[in-house]
Amino acid sequence: MSRVLITGGAGFIGGHLCRHLLDRGDEVVVVDDLSRGVVDQDFITLLKRSGIKLVEADLLQREALSTVAGNFQHIYHFAAIIGVANVLRRPYEVLTNNVAMHAEVLRFARQQPGLERFVFASTSEVYAGTLQYFDLPIPTPESTPLAVSDLSHPRTSYMLSKIYGEALCQQAGVPFTVIRPHNIYGPRMGMAHVVPELLKKGYQAPSGSRIEVASVDHRRAFCYIDDAIELIVRSAHTELCRNEVINVGNEQEAKSIRELARAVFDVLDKDLEIEPGPVSPGSPSNRCPDMTKAIAKTGYAPRITLEEGIGRTFEWYRVNVFEGEQLTAR
């Protein structure tokens, strides 16, 4: 049993992490300003459980965590400006705010005498510059040298904020684990992601329709949220992952977007045709994590197939979004 702080705990990965840790018997404090994560019915139900507390706080404010009392054994830092639309629209804020929030949470972590692990959520985007300019190995190991893409491109801002965040962890003097999530999907992930977008398009379309799908030849390795959470929690609790960078993903489920769309339409049990659309600007053509290190150090390999994960995701969206009124993260 641990006392755990989760920043951004009202979001997609953070919310699932809260549920997992409560099931373990941990005491969880969620810090979120609710600017992106939302208090939907799932989160309201979560907050009714014993052992969890929500603190609304703006991590851009100095001493934002001053009201969060007590010693924490584990801190998971997920709070950040994320999402391609936000990054393209607000690159300066992405750079300044993500770094400022991270620095504030690290300052708090350095004051925790019993801290066993600080887990920082980085991103698979850190590999994008290497893919653009050099010979990036696919699947990609954590040891791959990082290169930065064009500094004038707004999308670079997110990558830079996370690379800087990784460097802060390395120099802060706290026991850390950096995780690099790769295409995590599942219930309650919002609509600005390829899996729920395809589910919505396919669900609303009559059989026989042609559905436009962007970037059909791009490849991604899709990891269902339950597998991702198991990897994250194990990495936080094993000494083998102390002061290490760990990929979080599922290289066994590497698919083209065309293959993903076909899997989605099969789950929907509809006869739908794929109409290749434009390539998404700035989107890497291939992304797949080498999971050798993560599996060896955590003792866990992802188990949920793409078809099973899409099925679980569709059932949640059907009930809560497509046929319901529940809000989801933006």
In this prediction, what percent of the chain has a pLDDT beyond 70? 97
Q: Phi and psi of 131, rounded to 5°?
A: -60, -40
Report pLDDT digits (tens) over 168-204: 999 999 999 999 999 999 999 999 899 999 999 999 9
Q: What is the pLDDT of residue 192?
A: 87
| pLDDT of 77 over the 70 cut | yes
Residue 330, pLDDT > 50, answer: no
- Report the chain's mean pLDDT, rounded to a whole number: 94
Note the pLDDT tens digit of each residue in 90-149: 999 999 999 999 999 999 999 999 999 999 999 999 999 999 999 999 999 999 999 999
| Cis ω for the linkage preceding 181 (within 30 of 0) | no
- Tens digit of each residue's pLDDT (9 = 90 or more) over 304-313: 999 999 999 9
Predicted local distance difference test score (pLDDT) of residue 37: 64
pLDDT at 329: 41
| Alpha carbon distance 22, 26 (integer Å) | 5
Using the predicted structure, report yes or no on whether residue 230 has a pLDDT greater than 50.
Answer: yes
Position 248 pLDDT exceeds 90? yes
Output the pLDDT for position 235.
Answer: 98
Structural domains in the chain, sorted by start: 3-188+222-252+289-304 (3.40.50.720)
Confidence of residue 324 (pLDDT cuts 50, 70, 90): low
pLDDT score recorded for residue 187? 97
Q: Distance (Å, rounded) from C-alpha 89 to C-alpha 95?
A: 12
Question: Rounded to the nearest 5 degrees, what angle is found at the Cα of 167, between the Cα atoms of 85 and 225?
Answer: 50
29 vs 242: CA distance, rounded Å: 22
**Is the pTM above the cut of 0.75?**
yes
Q: What is the pLDDT of residue 327?
A: 41
pLDDT of residue 86: 85
Which residue in 276, 269, 275, 273 sits closest to 203, CA to CA?
A: 269
Across-strand partners of 3?
A: 27
Residue range 14-31, pLDDT digits in tens:
999 999 999 999 999 999
Mean local confidence (pLDDT), 153-181: 97
Query: Distance (Å, rounded) from C-alpha 196 to C-alpha 262?
Result: 14
Strands 254-256 and 219-221: antiparallel
- The pLDDT value recorded for residue 1 is 82
pLDDT at 10: 94
**Burial class of 19 by CB neighbour count within 10 A (0 to 12, 13 to 18, 19+):** middle
